[in-house]
Amino acid sequence: QSVLTQPPSVSAAPGQKVSIPCSGGSSNIGNSYVSWYQQLPGTAPKLLIYDNNKRPSGIPDRFSGSKSGTSATLGITGLQTGDEADYYCGTWDSSLSAFVFGTGTKVTVL
């Protein structure tokens, strides 16, 4: 059971916006930086956001990250069919001395 909780699924129509929350605690999100990963069907995870809100080169600005207290959020605007994937948050947990991933959220484009 992960210490980072995400909703199992979110959905929206093409062109709309979705927000994916990642809820943690004081030993993880509360004192660590959050990263987000996109996993398209049958492929390896890909880094989308690091250091809470930074995008690697090549990631469109439709993807954004934010953090407040012990929660983080991934936002996707202008939703496209190619965004259908599983999304995971991740961070270091100082109590567990381990990198932890969220439970994962499946994004469906209606």
Partner 1 sequence: QLQLQESGPGLVTPSETLSLTCTVSGGSIRSDSSYYWGWIRQPPGKGLEWIGNIHHNGITSYNTSLESRATISVDTSNNQFSLELTSVTAADTAVYYCARMIVTAIYKDYFDFWGQGALVTVSS
Please say which residue, 16 or 95, places its beta carbon nearer to partner 1. Answer: 95
The whole-angstrom separation of Cα 17 and Cα 13 is 8
List, in sequence order, every residue forming a beta bridge with 73; answer none if it has no partner: 21, 66
How many CA atoms within 13 Å lie on the side-chain side of 71? 10
Say which residue the tokens 């567990």 belong to: 96
Please say which residue, 33 or 75, places its beta carbon nearer to partner 1. Answer: 33
Residue type, 87: Y
Please say which residue, 17 or 70, places its beta carbon nearer to partner 1. Answer: 70
How near is the Cβ of 38 to partner 1 at its closest, in Å? 11
Q: Site residues (CB under 8 A) for partner 1? A: 2, 31-33, 35, 37, 43-47, 50-51, 56, 88, 90-92, 94, 96-104
How near is the Cβ of 104 to partner 1 at its closest, in Å? 5
Determine the 3-state secondary structure of 14 from DSSP: coil
Please say which residue, 16 or 26, places its beta carbon nearer to partner 1. Answer: 26
